[in-house]
């Protein structure tokens, strides 16, 4: 097929590291929201965590691809330790608690592409909060505003 017949060659969407701010997610954790696809339920996010923090135990309803840039972390439920260059694939249905060891020096920096929702679980295993592309976008926009940044130009938002 000649390229001339390709009806619409779409552009690509680039964000440099400094194009989107890191803002607080919870104590000791900041995040940068790079992309959402609200119809599909995709969210692409980068997390920076200080030593000793943890994320609430959650269950995923879709797949997660995770690439670690620096630092060290693991899921309480699995033995593998993720360090710089580690790749982690989490299928739909995975349930886990992300922990960053106290003994770390410096920041743990992780890039995630998440499809679907994180169902945050309470101690009974009941769903306490639903974190998905739409809710994360809302949190990111609110935190950017609260910390004096302009409205963030998240891909797909």
Site for its own copies in 97-156 (CB under 8 A): 111, 113, 115-117, 119, 121, 124-130, 132-135, 137-138, 155-156
Please say which residue, 1 or 151, places its beta carbon nearer to its own copies: 1
Beta bridge partners of 49: 29, 108
Instruction: Report residue 72: phi and psi, to 5°.
Output: -160, 135
What x-and-dash track marks residues 50-69 binding its own copies by CB under 8 A? Answer: ---------x-xxx-x-x-x
Among 15, 51, 97, 157, binds its own copies (CB under 8 A): 15
Using the rule CB under 8 A, is 3 a contact of its own copies? yes
Please say which residue, 80 or 102, places its beta carbon nearer to its own copies: 80
**Burial class for 31, CB neighbours closer than 10 Å (0-12, 13-18, 19+):** buried
Query: At closest approach, how far in Å is the CB of 50 from its own copies?
Result: 19
Query: At closest approach, how far in Å is the CB of 42 from its own copies?
Result: 8
Q: Which range in 23-31, 48-56, 78-86, 144-152 contacts its own copies by CB under 8 A?
A: 78-86
Site size with its own copies, rule: CB under 8 A: 74
Cα 14 to Cα 17, 35, 153, 154, 156: the distances in Å are 10, 10, 11, 10, 12
96-120 as b/e, with b when 16 or more CB fall inside 10 Å? bebbbeeebeeebbbebebbbbbbb
């Amino acid at each position: 097929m000649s390229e001339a017949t390709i009806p619409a060659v779409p552009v690509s969407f680039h964000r440099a590291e400094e194009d989107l701010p890191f803002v607080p997610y919870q104590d000791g954790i900041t995040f940068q929201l790079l992309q959402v696809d609200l119809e599909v339920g995709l969210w692409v996010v980068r997390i920076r965590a200080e030593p000793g923090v943890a994320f609430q135990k959650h269950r995923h309803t879709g797949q997660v691809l995770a690439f670690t840039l620096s630092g060290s972390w693991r899921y309480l439920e699995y033995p593998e330790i993720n360090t710089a260059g580690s790749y982690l694939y989490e299928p739909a249905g995975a349930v886990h608690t992300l922990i960053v060891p106290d003994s770390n020096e410096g920041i743990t920096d992780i890039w995630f592409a998440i499809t679907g929702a994180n169902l945050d679980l309470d101690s009974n295993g009941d769903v306490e909060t639903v974190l998905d592309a739409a809710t994360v976008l809302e949190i990111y926009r609110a935190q950017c505003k609260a910390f004096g940044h302009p409205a963030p130009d998240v891909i797909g938002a």
